[in-house]
Structure 1
Amino acid sequence: MKKLFCALSLVIGLGNVVAQDEYYFPEQNAIWEEKQPNAIKMNTKVLEEAVAFAESNEYSGSRDLRIAILKGFEREPFHQILGPTKKRGGPAGMILKNGYIVAKWGDTKRVDMTFSVTKSFLSTVAGLAEDKGIIASTDDKVVDYIWDGTFDGAHNSKITWEHLLQQNSAWSGELWGGKDWADRPPREGGIDDWKFEKPAVPGTEMEYNDVRVNVLAYSLTHVWRKPIPLVLKEQVMDKIDASSTWRWHGYENAWTEVDGLQMKSVTGGGHSGAGLFINTEDMARFGLLFLNGGKWKEQQLISEAWIAKAIAPSAPNVNYGYMWWLNKKGDRHWPGLSEDLYYAAGFGGNFMVIDKENDLVVVTRWLEPSKIGEFMTKVNASLN
C-alpha cells in the first residue's frame, strides 16, 4: 500500500522520530490499511467502548426509511415522498486516524440514504464552481446568473450564493411542487399564522429548509451546465478513488432544460426521498479529503481558501457555515471537544465528522441523533 506524507514538523522523543500529519490514502479497490489504536496513540479499550456505544444506540426510527420519513415529517402540510427511498441497514461506521482505519463496525460497503449529509457534498460543488471561476464570488447575487424568474422580485433578487449556502436566504416560492413556507413549519401556531408570514431579510436568519437548498442545486445545475452528480464524480469522487456504487437522486418531476438537454436537478437532502445514497467507506474518503485541506495525495481538488470559507461561522448561526455544522460555542456545541471540529449531519443519525486538531475522520450511521455528542466525547477520550 502506498503511503504519502505531509510532514509539517517532527517530534523527537525517546530516540524515535514521529512524523506529524502523516496521512495515508487508500488506493482504489484495495484493502484499506488498518492500524491497532494503541500503535497510533489511541487507547484501544476506550475506543472499543465508543464503538460498542454506537452499536447499542441505533436510531429508533423504522429501518424502512419510507415509513421513517413519513413519520418524521408528518407535521409538514402537503408532505409526500417525491423521490426514491431505500430500506437501511444497521449501525455502521469508521474511525480514521491519519487516514488509517482504527475502528469500524457494521457493513461499511452497504449503500444507504444519507439525507442532509448530502448538503455538504452540494456545498462542495458550489466551491468547485468558485474555484474554477464559474461563479466569481459567493457574494454575488444569484439573479445575475439565474435570470429565468427563480430570483425575480424585490425579495428574491437580493439573495446571494452565500445566503443559499448558509441557509439564510429566505427564498420565497415553489420548486418541484414544494412550497418554501410548508417546509419544517414552526412548532407553534397554525397554517394561517405562518403561511403568510413575511420572509426574513436575506442573510439575517437561518432557516433549515430543503426547498431552498434544492433551489441552490437547481442554480448550480444551470451554471455548471451539466448534472450535479456528474460534476461531483468527475471533479472529486473519481479522484479520491471512491467506489462506483454511490448515487445522487432528484425528485421524479425535477427535470430542467439546459442547452437543449433534459437534466435531473438533484436534492440536497432526503426528507421527501432522493438525495445522496452512499456507503460508509466513500463518506470516509470524502472526509479524509477535507481533513487534508482539500488535497488527495499530491492533487489539490478543493482549494484551502474554499474550505476556510465553508467552515466559517455565519452571522445568524455560529454553528453553521456553508452547509457544514461547526462545533463553536452555541446551541449545537459539543463541550470538551475541539471548537475547530466540523461535521455533516443527516436524518436518522448519519454523521461525517472532521477533527483536524486530532487528525480524525469519524463516520457513524444510524446512531440515535441525540447520542452523537456523547459518542464523540467517548471517541475523544481514546486519544492519548
Structure 2
Amino acid sequence: MKRLTYSLLFLITVLAACQKSDDNHPPIENDLYFPPTTSGGWQTIAPEELAWNTDSLEALYTFLSDHGTRAFLILKDGKIVAEKYWGKNILNTGDFNAESNWYWASAGKTLSAFLIGVAQQDGLLSISDKTSDYLGEGWTSMSSDKEELITIRHQLTMTTGLDYTVNDTYCTDPECLQYKTDAGQQWYYHNAPYTLLKDVIASASGMTDNEYTHEILEVPTGMSGTWIYNGVNNVYYSVPRDMARFGLLILNKGTWDETELLSDQNYFSEMTTTSQNINPAYGYLWWLNGTSKTMMPGITIPLNTSISPDAPEDLIVAAGKNGQFLDVIPSMNMVVVRMGEAPDEAQVPIIFHNQMWQKLNPVIGRQPVM
C-alpha cells in the first residue's frame, strides 16, 4: 500500500435546461472578501446596498421557515448579505443560532472530493490508481480481475460498477460489494464505494479523516467541523458559517484569500464539470446545473431536466439528505447555504431546492432563462 513514512428515488417535474459547458465557469473578476480564520468576524453588506428586493427577501424567509430550515446564508463577493436561523438546535436543548452544529449529510461528499484533489496534488495518490492499491486485494467480493478495474476516479464519479441491487447499498463489507458490470459502464448513486474513500485517504496520508481534514482544509480556512460516524456512514458536522467558508473556497477555485489549497486547476475543473458520459449532471461528487438530462439518486434512467431549472446554469451544488444544500454560483460571485430538517417527503429534496430559487430570484433581481 502507498503511505506517507441517500439513496431513495425522487422525481422532479420541471422544465429542461440547456447543456452545461466549461464556459459556464467564467473566471471571477470581482475582488472577494475572505473572513479571518482566527476570529468570528465576517463583513456584511446590506441587501439595500445591492438594490435587492427586501420584501421578496422576507417572503423567501417565510418560505424557508415554513419548510423546516434551521440556517440560511447568502454570500455576495464573500460578504454576508443574508443570515437567518430558526427552530431548535440538533439536541433540542436551545435555539438554533450561528454557533449551532448541523450535519452536512451527502453534501459532505464534496469535502472528500476536494481532499482527494489535494492528496493527488501532493503526490500521495493518483485518482487513476486502483482502489485496491489502498484498500488491499479483496475489498470487494468480485473476482480480482474485475476488482482491479475500479479506480479512485470511479469512486469519485459513482461509476464503480458495483451491484446496487444488494440489500444495503451503504454496507462496505466485501460481501455487500458485488459485481454488476465493469467499472465505468454504469452510473449509480452508491454510497458504499464513496464511504471507502476515507480509507483511501487514510492509507495514502497516514492520517485519520479528521486529522487530514483539519490540516488540509480547516486550519487554512478557519473551519472547525468534525467527521462523526453514523452507522457505517461518516458524516461531517459544522456550524453553518463553516459550510459558507467551504463554498467561498470553491467559488475562488481552491484558493483561500492568497493561499492556494488546491492549485491543480485541471483537477478542479474535472471536479466541477461533467465527469462521465452517463450522467452529465455529476462531477466529482458535486452536482452540476444546466445540463439537458440528470440521473437522480436511486434511479438508473436519466430525466430530461437539469438539477434546478430556475437557478443559474453555472450553479454547482453540494446536496445532502433532508435538504442540506451548498450552492456556488461563479457567474454571480454568490454562495448560498441551506441547512435544516426535511422540507418534504424526498430524501434529497430537489423540488424544494428549485422552489427556493424561485423565491430567491426576485430578491436578487434575476430573471430565469426559459
1:147 to 136, 148, 152: 136
Q: Does 1:132 align with 2:122?
A: yes
- The structural deviation recorded for 1:150 is 2.0
Identify the residue that residue 210 of structure 2 maps to in structure 1.
Answer: 229
1:333 is aligned to 307
Q: Partner of 1:350 in structure 2?
A: 324
Higher relative contact order (CA 8 A, sep 6+): 2
The unaligned stretches of length 5 or more in structure 2 are 1-26, 86-96, 171-175, 295-305, 344-348, 366-370
Q: In structure 2, which of residues 31, 52, 72 is the aligned counterpart of residue 42 of structure 1?
A: 52
SS at match of 1:155: helix
Residue pair 2:288, 2:316 contacting (<8 A) in 1 also: yes
CA–CA separation in structure 2 for the residues paired with 1:222 and 1:249: 19
- AA aligned to 2:149 is K
Matched, 1:215 2:196: yes
In structure 1, distance between residues paired with 2:123 and 2:177: 38
How far residue 338 of structure 1 moved from its aligned partner, in angstroms, is: 2.2
2:43 to 30, 33, 36: 33
Provide the C-alpha distance between the structure 2 equivalents of 1:295 and 1:345, rounded to a whole number of angstroms: 22
Rg bigger for which structure?
1
In structure 2, C-alpha distance between the alignment counterparts of 1:310 and 1:163, rounded to whole Å: 12
One-letter identity of the residue aligned with 1:154: D
1:354-369 equivalences under 5 Å are 354-366=328-340, 368=343, 369=349
SS for the counterpart of 1:158 is coil
Deviates more, 1:302-311 or 1:344-353: 302-311
Residues 1:295 and 1:199: Cα distance change in structure 2 (over 3 Å) = same
1:197 deviates by 8.3
Q: What does residue 159 of structure 1 align with?
A: 150
Note if contact 2:113-2:285 (Cα within 8 Å) is conserved in structure 1. Answer: yes
**Which protein is richer in strand relative to its size?**
1
TM superposition shift of 1:111: 0.6
**Equivalent of 2:272 in 299, 311, 327:** 311
Write the letter of the residue equivalent to 2:293: G
Aligned to 2:247: 287
Q: Please tell me whether the aligned partners of residues 137 and 144 of structure 2 are also in contact (alpha carbons under 8 angstroms).
A: no
CA RMSD between the two structures: 2.5
Q: Percent identity?
A: 26
Residues 149-208 of structure 1, C-alpha deviations (whole Å, 9 max, x = no match): 326612211011111001111246xxxxxx9822359xxxxxxxxx99851221121221
Q: Shift in Å at residue 276 of structure 1?
A: 0.7
Corresponding residue of 2:4: none
> Residues 42-191 of structure 1: matches in 2 within 5 Å?
42-58=52-68, 91-106=70-85, 107-136=97-126, 138-150=127-139, 153-171=144-162, 181-184=166-169
Partner residue in 1 for 2:5: none
1: CA distance, partners of 2:84 / 2:169: 33
Residues 282-322 of structure 1: CA distance to partner in whole angstroms, max 9, x if unpaired? 01001100001111111111123222110121222111110
Give the deviation of 1:273 after TM superposition: 5.5
Is the counterpart of residue 21 in structure 1 residue 30 in structure 2? yes
Gaps of 5+ in 1: 1-7, 10-19, 59-89, 173-178, 186-194, 251-269
Deviation at 1:247, TM superposition (A): 1.4
Alignment check: 8 A CA contact 1:92 1:104 kept = yes
Contact 1:145-1:223 within 8 A present in 2 as well: yes
Q: For residues 166 and 40 of structure 1, what CA distance do their matches in structure 2 show?
A: 38
Say if 1:180 and 1:212, in contact at 8 Å, map to a contact too: no
Q: How far 1:24 moved relative to its partner?
A: 1.0
- Once the two structures are TM-superposed, the CA of residue 145 in structure 1 deviates from its matched residue by 4.3
Whether the aligned pair in 2 keeps the contact of 1:93 and 1:108 (CA below 8 Å) is: no
Q: Deviations over 1:101-135 (max 9, x none)?
A: 11111123211222111211111111111111112
Shift of 1:329: 2.6
354-363 or 201-210, larger mean C-alpha shift:
201-210
Is the 2:195–2:233 contact (alpha carbons within 8 Å) kept by the matching residues of 1? no
Structure 1 pair 135/273, CA: closer, same or farther in 2 (3 Å)? closer
